[in-house]
Structure 1
């Protein structure tokens, strides 16, 4: 089997687990928008944006560093695993303790007076996430995709179970007199609290299983191993911070930069809930990006010693663009029924028009991930700092300047602007220091065409429901026909059993 097909196969396994697991999680949007208020959704959006941001600080690029030093530095992989995991456990305890102590200040600063417990739970969630990062990475490195997928799905199912129990089950039992208010300390006035508590319980329960399957570590902190790893990882910390700044900061800051009464009948926090809920609809593209990343990162490092690896990287990029462009069109043209299906209460549909922009933003994130391989395999991670710093600055500037005047659109533009700038910079420097023969003209053409077709299908409306569905989705078929006409050689080579790519 060719290297290309191996990557496709691994991506399919990770993708199946990600899509299945995240789809289950995605369905929670129905529960949240049905049973929780828009204000609670706003709290959920901002607190989880903070968690996403701090998660980068807690793991500081050590997953990628683990792959690099386990595959290409002539070091014993067990020693690398022991040292990396020991370091993350140690720093997680330090950072988690600091956040735990700062919880009262954070509660006041983010306008959650008297709710410091929310941020203490956040500290525990972050600690659990970070000490699971390297064991999960080890499973990926060892090609244990099924175990990895199983653990992720178990974690998500536990999370969903606790969410349904606390948000739907207990209120139903109280309303029917089966249990009383205060049973096991239950409070009907809690909302985002139960989302956080469910996450905390699910993550805590999965730790023994993941550690067992990945292999328990022996506590080791060796300077000869960790010093060069830290030098490699440190720029990746800023790369991750800048990336998550773009992805999450718009949701974190939205309610704070939106002028009062910008949207009639909605407070700034409620508008933030609408923005965050529509952001969630772009998760379908993010699923593909995440599945691809799970499979591609260890794959790229393992292939880096092959003299033909640049050609392989270019073909992977091209196939990625083709697939994700098609997916973007398919989601966008069907938002007219996908949106109301998941966003149950009135008012959420006002933000649907930003979803194609967010889909393109996530697609560009995937393109950037492909492009960034050059500085990871050449140990030039310092460039990631400057590239992502520029991206973060652009993201913040767009949020601050556009959200007050454009609302939801301004938040969405920050996403696409940041990733576009990062892609351009990474491509320019990559071609200078590690040339890869990308099909740049074709890839850019496909992206522009797909984005145009996405908005054409989104705004196109025909009164007859069946005809409306057929015409909208015909745009996907048109794009696929164009791909087939232009990419026959690539398609036939992928389908061939004998041709090595």
Structure 2
């Protein structure tokens, strides 16, 4: 129980930066949907899906590799840090330069004629993210959670500052005649450009701070360290791609797969903006998963030598499912007012019905992260390649088959189908090579009943707003009561025992 408390505490600290960052990113949707066009939102959705996908390629599993080798026996942690960072900086120079040079071709191919600068900025954003990955991982490994959170929060507020300055403040000053249209090269016809530029400036400005706090590295590539690290990380690259393939590829491909005039009065890019904006509403689930991941990954590795670690991993999984299913219901039943509050312009509400499906998809991604610990701690990362390959194939197939038929829901379904199959495969292989006593039947029950309750609450309509609100949210109480009824013995075991008089 003390280990679970420790993990919960670390999750809370890491979650401060992760949840704050993603929450503010989530809140920025209010600004974007208020001040930018649906076409600009479509561009934002597509380009940031590409960034998320390529970010995995640029880091290729090196964070997890760094944790594994830094906690391994007979290895100098300083040499591991130097080698990992040196390898990542070298590969970033190659990948970043290549993407920078290919920018004009990408702009034409992705239907952004004359906007090659968007993809040059993308190359720089990806490069800055990559060279910060290992220093941030080192702070996590050394339990410098406050420094980690502080740097992340500083980056967040820089990003917000530049976004608000460029999207709201400058246009206001121009309309008031305080500054002219061309002030510092400002262009009022830009939209997604200012989102990218804000991200670029914020990331670039924190590099010296993070490198200083984590410790500057010495360029060092020792074959004895780099070679096994490379072999360990490459399968993780494919596992990482699995984590973003469904979530991001669906958003990236949506506008290119959707038939012309599928939604009356909307271009494919505008429909992609609506799809992407509703995807953002489901990010509340991903906030929890990301915070959990930051704390759980080093925690899992450190606990791997304990003989009771399988039982601990099973408990962590069960608590994770309980909490996340409750969160899914809480969001879903309140979408009737959450949607209009965050998605400001008319038209975005047409995609709200896919949000519970997307929430379940994110939840299954979190389940997969829990399940995947078996091949990380047994050095069997090769299995991630095959599991990922199946998941990626399913994602692409579902998108191409169902988006032209069902539009928004076709894109959302790829989330559940992909991650459920990946979870199933990971569970079956894991129980064979590293058995963990998961409460499988009960976990599946909670997933199913919470999904049904989520859609029941979403579609429930009783007329009077107050009665409707109370009725919808009573489903949260119902689910809490069900958890208490089924888990009362476990809950009692967590409570402190009374001392006998």
The TM-score with structure 2 as length reference comes to 0.98
Q: Secondary structure at the match of 1:27?
A: helix
Q: Secondary structure at the match of 2:180?
A: coil
Shift of 1:152: 1.1
Residue pair 1:356, 1:451 contacting (<8 A) in 2 also: yes
Shift of 1:310: 0.2
Q: Which residue of structure 1 lines up, in the alignment, with residue 311 of structure 2? A: 311
**130 and 233 in structure 1: CA distance in 2 versus 1, 3 angstrom threshold:** same
**Do structure 1's residue 80 and structure 2's residue 80 form an aligned pair?**
yes
Shift of 1:116: 0.5
Separation (CA, whole Å) in 1 of partners of 2:9 and 2:464 = 41
Separation (CA, whole Å) in 1 of partners of 2:47 and 2:401 = 23
Separation (CA, whole Å) in 1 of partners of 2:158 and 2:230 = 34
Q: Secondary structure at the match of 1:122?
A: helix
Shift of 1:13: 1.4
Alignment size in residue pairs? 499
Q: Which residue of structure 2 lines up, in the alignment, with residue 146 of structure 1? A: 146
Q: Which residue of structure 1 lines up, in the alignment, with residue 485 of structure 2? A: 485
Q: Which residue of structure 2 lines up, in the alignment, with residue 134 of structure 1? A: 134
Q: Secondary structure at the match of 1:158?
A: helix
Residue pair 1:317, 1:367 contacting (<8 A) in 2 also: yes
Separation (CA, whole Å) in 2 of partners of 1:444 and 1:144 = 36
Q: Secondary structure at the match of 2:130?
A: helix
Shift of 1:497: 8.3
Q: Secondary structure at the match of 2:102?
A: helix
Q: Which residue of structure 2 lines up, in the alignment, with residue 214 of structure 1? A: 214
Shift of 1:200: 0.1
Shift of 1:146: 1.4
Q: Which residue of structure 1 lines up, in the alignment, with residue 42 of structure 2? A: 42
**Do structure 1's residue 4 and structure 2's residue 4 form an aligned pair?**
yes
Deviations 1:177-213 (A, max 9, x none): 0000000000011111100000000000111111111
Q: Which residue of structure 2 lines up, in the alignment, with residue 225 of structure 1? A: 225
Q: Which residue of structure 2 lines up, in the alignment, with residue 325 of structure 1? A: 325
| Pairwise CA RMSD | 1.2
Residue pair 1:354, 1:408 contacting (<8 A) in 2 also: yes
Separation (CA, whole Å) in 1 of partners of 2:228 and 2:474 = 53
Shift of 1:246: 0.9
Residue pair 1:39, 1:270 contacting (<8 A) in 2 also: yes
Q: Which residue of structure 2 lines up, in the alignment, with residue 449 of structure 1? A: 449
Q: Secondary structure at the match of 2:305?
A: coil
Q: Which residue of structure 1 lines up, in the alignment, with residue 470 of structure 2? A: 470
- Unaligned runs of 5+ residues in structure 1 are none
Residue range with higher mean Cα deviation, 227-236 or 8-17 = 8-17
Separation (CA, whole Å) in 1 of partners of 2:476 and 2:363 = 17
Deviations 1:74-109 (A, max 9, x none): 311111011101111111011000000000000000
Shift of 1:492: 3.2
Separation (CA, whole Å) in 1 of partners of 2:119 and 2:387 = 31
Residue pair 1:354, 1:412 contacting (<8 A) in 2 also: yes
The TM-score with structure 1 as length reference comes to 0.98
Separation (CA, whole Å) in 1 of partners of 2:21 and 2:108 = 35
**Do structure 1's residue 348 and structure 2's residue 348 form an aligned pair?**
yes
Q: Secondary structure at the match of 2:75?
A: coil
**Do structure 1's residue 116 and structure 2's residue 116 form an aligned pair?**
yes
Separation (CA, whole Å) in 1 of partners of 2:315 and 2:157 = 36
